[in-house]
Copies of this chain bind each other. A is one copy, B any other.
Amino acid sequence: MKLYDCASAPSPRRVRMFLAEKGIAVPTVQVDLRAGEQFSDSFRAINPDCTVPVLELDDGSHIADVIGICIYIEATRPLPALMGEEPIAKAVIAAAERRAEREGFYAVQEAFRNFTRGLQDHALPGPDAYEQIPALAERGRARVLRFFATMDTRLDDRPFVCGEAFSIADITTLVSIDFAKWIKLAIPEECVNLRRWYEAVSARPSAKA
């Protein structure tokens, strides 16, 4: 296996952290997103969507989606389970992970991409041109603040996002919160549950992956 990666970018970090929690080392190929390498002909041949991460399997096929990659890893290396073992746990974790992606990750992305100089025509990831919408940058920031509050409430009675066990929902939440630093938003002081959780999860070795 081989992972097309960008060490500084949040999306591939979700996969790197997942692999680290599984104890799997995969060689990486760095794609320089700031230099626009994802739009090169050679990378388009690997992923026409021009995004990382992409997992290359030993047969040469590619999985070009964060969750698709994690599902593949979980299916081939089930333990430690990061996506739930019993049906209800699988469902609850998937729902929580999707919330973190939608209300956390995508909200930060909305704020970042609709504001940042240099991304004027790249308000969405991928090869298609979409102009920035300033009102969307503002909305993204408001959504991130609500995400902090929602997660703080959720973490009031449990160590991890889905209860007693660390899961992929914790990974997406952590990566989203660190991504929010790019738009200069940090967990508010009053979110004491979320801050306690953030300290604990950031201290895991996988958080450095």
Residues of A within 8 A of B (CB): 57, 61, 63-65, 67-69, 71-72, 75-76, 86-88, 90-92, 94-95, 98-99, 124, 128, 130, 133, 135-136, 139, 142-143, 146
Residues of the B chain whose Cβ atoms lie less than 8 Å from the Cβ of A91: 63, 65, 68-69, 71-72, 75
| Interface-central residue, A67, A88, A99, by most chain B CB under 10 Å | A88
Residues of the B chain whose Cβ atoms lie less than 8 Å from the Cβ of A143: 124, 130
* Identical chains bound together, number: 2
Q: Can you list 18 residue pairs at the A/B interface with Cβ under 8 Å?
A: A57-B88, A61-B88, A63-B88, A65-B94, A65-B95, A65-B98, A67-B98, A68-B91, A69-B91, A71-B90, A72-B87, A72-B90, A75-B87, A75-B90, A128-B146, A130-B139, A133-B136, A135-B135
Q: Is the interface of A mostly helix, strand, loop or mixed?
A: helix
Apart from A72-B90, A72-B91, what 7 extra A-B contacts exist at CB < 8 Å? A57-B88, A61-B88, A65-B91, A67-B98, A128-B146, A130-B142, A133-B133
| Interface-central residue, A72, A133, A136, by most chain B CB under 10 Å | A72
A100 CB → nearest B CB, Å: 12
With CB as the reference atom, state the residue of chain B lying closest to A67. B94
A20 CB → nearest B CB, Å: 19
CB within 8 Å for A92 and B75 given contacts A135-B135, A146-B128: no
Residues of the B chain whose Cβ atoms lie less than 8 Å from the Cβ of A65: 91, 94-95, 98-99
A160 CB → nearest B CB, Å: 17
Alpha-carbon distance between A135 and B136 when the two chains are bound, in angstroms:
9
Alpha-carbon distance between A124 and B86 when the two chains are bound, in angstroms:
32
